[in-house]
Chains A and B, each alone.
Chain A
Amino acid sequence: KDKEEDESKEEDSCSQQNRASRKKNYQQKNSDGKKAGEEGSRQRERGKKAPTKDQKESENKEKKTNKKEKEGDDKQKTDRKNSTTSSSNSSDEESLSEEELAMLMEQVEQKKKLISTMRNKPWRMMKKLSVLREAQAFVEKFEGALGKGKGKKLYAYKMMMAKKWVKFKRDFDNFKTQCIPWEMKIKEVESHFGSSVASYFIFLRWMYGVNLVLFGLIFGLVIIPEILMGMPYGSMPRKTVPRAEQATAMDFSVLWDFEGYIKYSALFYGYYNNQRTIGWLKYRLPMAYFMVGISVFGYSLMVVIRSMARNANESTADGDDDNFIFSWKMFTSWDYLIGNPETADNKFASITTSFKESIVDEQESNKDENIHLRRFLRVLANVLIICCLCGSGYLIYFVVKRSQTFSKMQNVGWYERNEVEIVMSLLGMFCPPLFETIAALENYHPRIGLKWQLGRIFALFLGNLYTFLLALMDDVNEKLAEEDVVKNITHWTLLSHHNSSVGNGSTATPPPLDPADVPRGPCWETTVGIEIVRLTVSDILVTYITILVGDFIRACFVRFMNYCWCWDLEAGFPSYAEFDISGNVLGLIFNQGMIWMGSFYAPGLVGINVLRLLTSMYFQCWAVMSSNVPHARVFKASKSNNFYMGLLLLILFLSLLPVAYTIMSLPPSFDCGPFSGKKRMYEVIQETIELDFPLFVAKIFSYVANPGLIIPAILLMVLAIYYLNAVAEAYQRANAELKKKMQMQREEEKNKRNNKASTNPVLQDLEDLFTPSTKSESHLKEAEDKKIDSPNRTSPVVKQDKAAALGGSPMTGGRGTAFTLPPHMFMTRPPTPHVWAPYPGQPRPRGYPLGPVPGRGRGQPRY
């Protein structure tokens, strides 16, 4: 026994030394090597040993009980006192009987469990340390006796790899979020203006992504091949500026109108040649042009619908977790990782905004006033708005009619020429605020109000769009008529040129006519393209100027004139502008519609749009942050911005219609564009099939295009849609049912708890302090433990403090008491759970010297 005590002391001093060396190491690092040379290196060696030990201990903690057998043995291996301990253990082992062995096993298991759950206990570090130490000593002692272990190293390695992997994944996630463009910008806007404003910017970003893809498609497959491999500028009439325009073709005012050199560039439809293949690659440009035109629509449709479906999925996926909105916001919204004042400011702002959003939601759901009055008001508002829409529709119709008569007359004034545009922009300016005033009658939740507002303005703008289209159509028809005439003239000119050269009686080959001199048709496709590009550009400018004047100048004025004004500008009339979500979203959507419509006739349009979106992202972010104020009622954006997507889909469809119409039923111009010389644009496909594919493919196509096949296919699709719809409905119903059940269950649980709590509130109180892991113990035990625990917490005992200060290195001393308890003492103890109850309250036999190391105070009883 004495020998063992000695050992323990030795061990303890050893560990102390270890710790000392560690501290010294630290000092060394800091104070640049007080001790140098051999001594230092030896210390380092020791320092290295200490961590390995620590590792064991920390892993001990994490270990589950099923690994129990393996540890002890390994521990012994690593132990410096390896031989002596094992010998003493083995001597004990021989004296054990079978029953005792089993008991021992059980105890060891319990200790193990304690060690593994040690982390989870809300004890003070000191208590943890002492309990841990004791338990470890016990386990260590007996596991060697009972078990054998292998694979410890493998396990450690695995743990390490798992940790590394987790860390890597986290870093990778961080990296990924950093890669999302403008994420920080949008987050910043969101934290100050709420998720509804941020939803606009997210939508803008999404749009930018889509446009980037379209841009890549068009540039990669149409424009770049044309520039690289097509005939160069000036080689043929369609690629040359006509003689009459050449003088002014480089003027800025001309270029600004997209005439002159820009008109005869690869940005527009008319520049492309109808040569079937170009360059050494035999690139089939007309075919590519057609396919890209189609696939722009195809891709957009696919993307919009896919994102709609995903949004719908998301909104159903996490729709049921709304039981604890406020609690979660209250207790989990602060991110404890934040250590940067700016981020913290943002976080405060965002938490406040999110609270406000939820409050608005809550107030809305609580409102139940006069329902009849509300209904009446809503009906009234809708009637008013429909009147407005009808009136504006009629006004547009009237103006368009008038403009047609004006266009036939000569010498009309500036107003008459621009009447349509003026009326349109006036309508666009005054109707939305009018709608907003009317919408105030309805008193909707702002989110729903926004949707209504969007829908109404959308309806208004549709009129705008369609008058524009009608005007274009008229234009096109005119151009078509004109074209027939020009066609003859061109024919005649070429012929006469030929004739004249022949008539001169010289050589058979006439001198080539300069391409700039050839009379040419109006090329309606390019006209349409130019029209749309102009509209887009002016739209961009108007948007930016509105932001600059309406928001920035106003904000500056309000801000700086407030000092010398007779009323409070900030609170009073002009004040700061709010961010106009509906207007901006609609602007974006209509702009996109224009892009879709125009991209077939002006391939360069998408490039302009990409630029526009890029600049407006930065510009609007800046404008919002610098000169707007948050809405009076900040509201949460709906989880899925499917409403925006729905509008986008609608506009996509609407812009698809005119393009499809022109492709299918208007003849292309005879002297410009990739399809010149064909009756219809789609003939390019037939041509490719006939010329480039084997015969049977052409046959198959002709069969497939048979109406007898198409009509059944459409029927089949309709049936499939019907079926899927029915299935979806059934699922929805089932979902609602399940939700109801869950709600009911929750209520039931609440009630049950209510009853329980009323019967035994004391128990409840006691349980509060403890983790689930200790709940298995009897409540008596808990009470006892609490009694002991609480004085510790409230009244600082000097000795305890001492010990606490000592515990600075929580695990190195772990072996200190390891060898102090003679092994056979444990066999006398019954294996009850009380044995491993919290240490200080535990009645334990102290017949043997515990071997407290002087001055460490760990093994000493605390009471």
Chain B
Amino acid sequence: MLASCDSLTHDADDHVRRRKMAVCVAVIAKENYPLYIKTVPTENELKFHYTVHTSLDVVEEKISAVGKALVDQRELYLGLLYPTEDYKVYGYVTNTKVKFVIVVDSSNIALRDNEIRSMFRKLHNSYTDVMCNPFYNPGEVIQSKVFDNMVSGMMVQVC
């Protein structure tokens, strides 16, 4: 791919050849408080917080819908939670009801469902690593550098 996807977002860095994967990645505890939220660009942080928080509505809706189905056939990936004009919000829930939310720029039409799924898988693996750290207390805000680096890598992928 030669042209930047950013060209249409009227960003200043049109010439930078990078492709945004996700603009916001969030890990939300079972009790619905954020364990981790990272957004790029940071000036929209507040908006993404609102978006992620609102998406919990749909996450809960989907979880309760899934709950009625067989337990072992539970699909962790919740799919597209809801699209907005500018962003698409995807959800994923672990068996312990920890939620992952990834917000993707809508202009990134080329992003396929499979890629989203693999992002979630990566996120889940990394989260599991965080949980395995004996110095991490479950329920605490995630401050792991490794996790942060992984998420950063997920957010901006240089082509």
A binds B: no
